[in-house]
Chain A
Amino acid sequence: MRYLKTSEAAALLNVSPNTLRAWERRFGFPKPQRSPGKHRLFTHGEVAALRDALQEGLSISSAISRAREGLAADANSLVGALVSYERERADAAIEAALALRSVDRSVEEVLLPTLEEIARRYSVESAAWAFAAQWANDWLRRATRLTPPPVRPVSIVVGDASRDELDRDAPYIRALELFLLRAGVKVLSLSARGVAGIGDAATVHKPNLVVVAGGHLDDDTVARWAYAIRLAVGAMPLAIYRRGPERPRTRGTGTTVLPSGAGEAQRMVLELLESDAIIAATAAAGAAELRAQARSIRGNR
């Protein structure tokens, strides 16, 4: 995966950097990601596809639509591989997508839409879905393992309330975990069924935010799980991800509903983690911890 700065992308296309930024405004393509310093980072694959299309096109718009078509073909080839139960071809298809995009965007633009398409075409009761979901979860786990160790001093506990791997929400939860890990956040993902001992896990992990993800487990189970964490480490901001639209959500304060797209949810979690509320809560938790330590020291004397 190669990224290009604006000047490099412009040089590759033989246009000025201003023209390239104007294209982004008018056509929405090529669409850059942002570096931590908010600089534009263009993916080499998109720029190269556009460069080739410009040689053949009659206008920028037609060249861009041609370049987009070429990139969309990746998603179609993944659908084809999965519905014909070919693991190697599916691996090759996602590798091809990765050559043109970052991991995050390959997941968001190729892998997750592919799963949606298969679920829509064959229903989640089908063998095609079983194969596709298993392959996708497997791939996402592998990508998670390859992520470099976390760099931010923040951590999250994810309570997985999905049914199993074949749950439609499961790939989205894996994708959110992957995105958060790639953003440098420490993530501990546990099934929300495991209530006993969750307090210890939370004490060790010291989360800044708890995310309840998935819509299979009922509210009582999830509430018991969240309460156990709350008992262990005190009040904690809570976010809800893909818990279905019909459930009563926000009772009391501090509960945020995350958007259902994995990328959007990741951005919102990062905003939450950076917002003052969390810092204040962390500080308060720290203060409570200090007070508790002071009490225990006094008690020892």
Chain B
Amino acid sequence: MLDRTAKARSGRPALRVLTAPVEHEAPAPTVSFCSHCGARPSPSGEAPRSRVCGACGFGLLLESRADAAPKAGDAFIVLDRSLTVCAVSEAAERLLATREPEAVNRHVTDLLMPADAEESGGETLSMAVMWAARGDGGSHSATLRPANTFGIRLTARIAGCGPPRAALLVLE
């Protein structure tokens, strides 16, 4: 594109690159949810005084994309990028026959195993969790089974959550 001011100053035509304004994608709307019961705090406007869930008192409030966040009573777990269990919801405790205080700081494969025979399952799960924990904003899914059981298949949707950044794995 010809820049007329440059031309006027130097007296000869010059080219200048003008960057097109970047179209900022509107950030996906986020919601808060409790890392234990999954309940979403009532949107009463005022920010909660602490991160502790007011409904059950056993979880911390995390944020996630509205379309990926669990609903109250959903089974979900939260993993950090090294695939360590950081939180287990109440429903997931029942589903996986564990308790959160025992499950935290253990590797996810103590609770869930990839059950995707067609794809090379292990890699997809760990890659999806790592991407989500890094905050790529996308949503992935994986097929899993409880670690000590065969014949049960669970579909998990994986998305980022936080703070601090982590991966949310909602079992459907």
Query: Residues of A with Cβ closer than 8 Å to B?
Result: 13-16, 18-19, 22-23, 26-27, 54-65
Indicate if the CB atoms of B50 and A63 lie closer than 8 Å. no
Known: A14-B50, A15-B52, A65-B104. A58 touches B35 (CB 8 A): yes
CB pair A65 B50 closer than 8 Å = no
- How many B residues face the partner with a CB closer than 8 A? 24
Q: Which partner residue on chain A sits nearest B34 by CB separation?
A: A59
Q: Are B57 and A63 in contact (CB under 8 A)?
A: no
Are the CB atoms of A62 and B104 closer together than 8 Å? yes
Contact of A59 among B49, B57, B87, B162 (CB under 8 A): B87
B43 within 8 A of A: no
Contacts of A23 in B (CB 8 A): 57-58
Measured between beta carbons, the chain A residues less than 8 angstroms from B86 are 57-59, 62
In the complex the two chains form, what is the Cα distance from A27 to B104 in whole Å? 12
**Complex Cα spacing A63 to B35, Å:** 12
Pairs A-B, 9 closest by C-beta atoms: A14-B50, A59-B87, A19-B57, A58-B86, A61-B104, A59-B35, A61-B100, A61-B101, A62-B86
Tell me which of B36, B49, B80, B162 contacts A60 (CB under 8 A). B36
CB-based contact A59/B78 at 8 Å: yes
Name the A residues within 8 Å of B113 (CB-CB): none
Q: Which residues of B contact A22 (CB under 8 A)?
A: 57-58
A residues within 8 A CB of B78?
A: 58-59
Residue of B nearest to A57 (CB): B60
Q: Is B50 a contact partner of A60 (Cβ separation < 8 A)?
A: no
Find out whether the CB atom of B50 lies under 8 angstroms from the CB atom of A62: no
Question: In the complex, which residues 1-51 of chain B have their Cβ closer than 8 Å to any Cβ of chain A?
Answer: 35-36, 49-51
Taken residue by residue from 46 to 90, chain B's Cβ proximity to chain A (1 for < 8 Å, 0 otherwise) reads as 000111100001111010000000000000001010000011100
In-complex Cβ contact of A58 among B57, B103, B164 (8 A): B164
**Is B142 an interface residue, CB under 8 A from the partner?**
no
Please tell me if the beta carbons of A61 and B87 are within 8 angstroms of each other in the complex: yes
Chain B residues, CB < 8 A from A14: 49-50, 52
**Complex formed: what's the CA distance from A21 to B110 in Å?**
30
Residue B105 lies at the interface, judged by CB distance under 8 Å to chain A: yes
Most chain A CB inside 10 Å of its own CB: which residue of B51, B78, B105, B164 = B51
